[in-house]
Structure 1
């Protein structure tokens, strides 16, 4: 296994590749706008002015740093290793997404763009980008599948209140993949005035790098906070994985430690194609939305239909860096199904007074399982978002739990 001390400076390479994954597979008409984004980001990436602005925003607008919390009652319930939570649900807008949205909006302002365009699944990226647009005085257009609009009505209302135009996507499965397709088409039609703000560590170069850079703050804070609390590093770090931005954020702080890293994917209703979105467990190498990664595919090599109770995880692809780290063996990718995630959702509500996002509940579920297997030690979970958006869906389909 390679030495991870200088990993972040080595990957991706100049072409945006993490080993055999990543890159930029673009139609000719998108090559120029993406080159413009790449050049702008690399000119600002180490700019003192840009970074000073970003640090000011994180501290005085987002409310960072978010705390690390010892979930003592949840740990007692598990009966093994101690569980700690990185409270990204306390970040402004209620999730980790604002970490990269504020960075992308700041980049757009430096580039002289007037409009932000993006997709959203669970709505957290959409809310965060609409928030960033309002903060910077920019227009915002969010593309969202009709299925997710119905499931995540509170977030749709929040986006509209913040001034964003929400564009319903009515083709295909009407979920996250189709929202990405729709947003790309809108960006292509107006790239001179707008910037496409991808919502995860996916897409063509430079977005997997850029989003990881902006989310790296989660890993840096977590490592410092955990060491201050315990004097050492956690034995394991867990995070949910759809596209994988929250996971890469926290993993990036621990790649060069002895901590075991676990990416938790949604097994949904089971192993049958179309019943889950567990890309690492059941996918194979493929290209989607301009980059190469592990990909769930049908018999003809097209992206397969996917499902999860968590709208932010139902994507057939995954970040190229996750694909690379799987092959390297540095991160272990595991699964939690709907029922396990819902049980963890209710447990965290009742035992800690914290209502998690369904996405985050997948990571909590696996942490409970892992804690039972380990009689000692500590597990750090990235609680990537709060569950306000999921309340109606959970109550309608699963009730309040068994207490």
Structure 2
């Protein structure tokens, strides 16, 4: 088959195959090498025991392995994935052609070194403080809190983790500056990246300028119409820009560096992004202790691929008394088929080099995602979030485009804060969440980006609504 994608795509439906049978993988039209996965790379039949303590995985020979999933044990499981195989249960891994195995293994080794290098960590800490602008505030949204109180004046207390105040206007710079530092340490000369909403592109360009590195940013032409930016256009959306950026990287593996801003892709890409974004959760814990002497009761974040969600969730995965809530893009509604609710409706497959939940049809073909928040518009999701869903460590819900627009306008009106439309999805879920919470419950919402980039989109949406009304 003559195809174009650098990172191949395979999928299967585990329920359709008996435990001891090798599954038949369907080949998508956008892959360019055989997609059959060898038996030593994938465990294909898994089930979660509902007691929440272990999950069991059958390999191709029917042998079972048991993994602890008590909340207190989860960080150990995640750390093992971080520094070894990149496998979060059955998710993640490195499903790539042989030409990429060696470069990725070298990246794994270098990543492990910098994680234990005091000099690198000190340099990164200075950059995060003096260049990025950390730490970002944990802001008590008084008027938003009052808005969600009931008739008795009771309700949760709402705090915003203000990642929109970072240099570049989003959480993306946390990861970008660290990876550009890593690329320079490895002797790379150029950086390639893909962006959807534009924020990762801006962050990568800024970090490369600071560290005197050349960079090329790819962005889908569909996204460019919604998010104007000075980037290299690619026909399609973020998923197509990702494929093109990887293709560009593969063309020059010795001197270029592929800088992923999303928690997807082959190992170690998802692990690196989560680790470099985990500063969000670490600060949140520290600030919560300073403000009210405890932990958040509920942590809410939007979910596209998972970089901002894992950034704030990871710190609290061991805390059984902290609810972790991810909010996906419901688009025009789940029943419409025009959404990006991968964890809510997806099935397991391999896309862009890793196994996770995917939006796909019965033949394993990718279903085009939709969201008014461009950064949420991707058919896959973080393998680590896929794992947290499977072991029931985190909850996932959806909100529609219209609900996100309403939340965007509400925060502007009440707090004078313009949230990115991506973050507005997390804020929108407060409408359903707050009535279910006891008075005084501490809720932290990750305001992952600044929303002035979305003002024109919101304005056009409102205009269209008014035209339909009259």
TM bin (shorter chain)? over 0.9
Q: Deviations over 1:301-359 (max 9, x none)?
A: 02211100000000010000000000110100111110110000000000000000000
1:168 aligns with 2:230: no
Aligned to 1:62: 132
Mapped partners of 2:334, 2:259: distance in 1: 32
Give, in angstroms, the shift of residue 48 of structure 1: 0.5
Aligned to 1:349: 412
Aligned to 1:101: 176
Mapped partners of 1:54, 1:358: distance in 2: 29
Is this contact kept in 1: 2:77–2:88, CA < 8 A? no
Give, in angstroms, the shift of residue 200 of structure 1: 1.2
Equivalent positions of 1:275-314 (< 5 A) are: 275-314=338-377
1:209 aligns with 2:209: no
Q: Which runs of 4+ in 1 moved over 6 A?
A: none
Is this contact kept in 2: 1:83–1:367, CA < 8 A? no
Is this contact kept in 2: 1:284–1:296, CA < 8 A? yes
Mapped partners of 1:231, 1:39: distance in 2: 39
Mapped partners of 1:251, 1:73: distance in 2: 25
Is this contact kept in 1: 2:193–2:259, CA < 8 A? yes
Equivalent positions of 1:22-33 (< 5 A) are: 22-33=92-103
1:330 aligns with 2:393: yes
CA change 1:92–1:401 in 2 (3 A) is farther
Give, in angstroms, the shift of residue 401 of structure 1: 10
Q: Which ranges in structure 1 are unaligned for 5 or more consecutive residues? A: 161-165
Mapped partners of 1:273, 1:299: distance in 2: 17
Aligned to 2:209: 134
Choose from 444, 451, 454 the match for 1:390.
454
Q: Deviations over 1:42-100 (max 9, x none)?
A: 12111011101100001111110001001110111111211110000001101000000
Give, in angstroms, the shift of residue 233 of structure 1: 1.3
Aligned to 1:195: 257
Give, in angstroms, the shift of residue 33 of structure 1: 1.6
Q: TM-score, normalised by structure 2?
A: 0.81
CA-based RMSD: 1.5
Aligned to 1:245: 307
Choose from 90, 96, 115 the match for 1:45.
115
1:34 aligns with 2:104: yes
Is this contact kept in 1: 2:75–2:317, CA < 8 A? no
Q: Which ranges in structure 2 are unaligned for 5 or more consecutive residues? A: 1-51, 53-68, 150-154
Aligned to 1:265: 328
Is this contact kept in 2: 1:273–1:305, CA < 8 A? no
Q: State the SS of the aligned residue for 2:174.
A: helix
Aligned to 1:379: 443
1:10 aligns with 2:77: yes
Aligned to 1:87: 162
Choose from 280, 284, 288 the match for 1:218.
280
Aligned to 2:15: none
Is this contact kept in 2: 1:281–1:334, CA < 8 A? yes
Q: Deviations over 1:129-172 (max 9, x none)?
A: 0111101010111111001111011xx1xxx4xxxxx22111xx
Q: State the SS of the aligned residue for 2:311.
A: helix
Mapped partners of 1:102, 1:205: distance in 2: 19
Q: State the SS of the aligned residue for 2:188.
A: coil
Mapped partners of 1:384, 1:277: distance in 2: 18
Rg larger in 1 or in 2?
2
1:254 aligns with 2:316: yes
Is this contact kept in 2: 1:273–1:304, CA < 8 A? no
Mapped partners of 2:311, 2:463: distance in 1: 32
Is this contact kept in 2: 1:82–1:371, CA < 8 A? no
Q: State the SS of the aligned residue for 1:252.
A: helix
Q: Deviations over 1:179-234 (max 9, x none)?
A: 11111111111111111011111110011111111011000000110121111212
Give, in angstroms, the shift of residue 15 of structure 1: 1.1
Higher relative contact order (CA 8 A, sep 6+): 1
Is this contact kept in 1: 2:158–2:443, CA < 8 A? yes
CA change 1:273–1:399 in 2 (3 A) is closer
